[in-house]
Structure 1
Amino acid sequence: MSLANRVAIITGAGSGIGRAASLKLSTQGMLVALVDYDVARGEETLRLVKEQEGNGIFIQADVSSSTEVQNYVANIKERYGRIDVFFNNAGVMGTLSPLADYSEETFDRIMAVNLKGAFLGLKYVIKVMEEQRSGVIINTASTAGVQSTPFLGGYSASKHGVVGLTKTAAAEYGPKGIRINAVCPGGVITNMTKDMDMSDPVQNGPLRRPSSPEEIANVVCFLASEEASYMNGSIVTVDGGLTA
Structure 2
Amino acid sequence: MVNLPLTDVEVRILGALLEKEVTTPENYPLSLNALLSACNQTTNRDPVMRLDEDTATHHIIALRRGGLLHQIQPVGSRVTKFQHLLAEELKLDERQLAVLGVLMLRGPQTPGELHARTARLASFADIPDLESVLESLIARQPFPLVARLPRRPGQKEVRYTHLLAGEPTQADAPEMADEPPPRARPHRADVDEDRVAALERTVEALQAEVAAVRAELEAFRAQFQ
Structure 2-normalised TM-score?
0.27
More strand by share: 1
Bigger Rg over Cα: 2
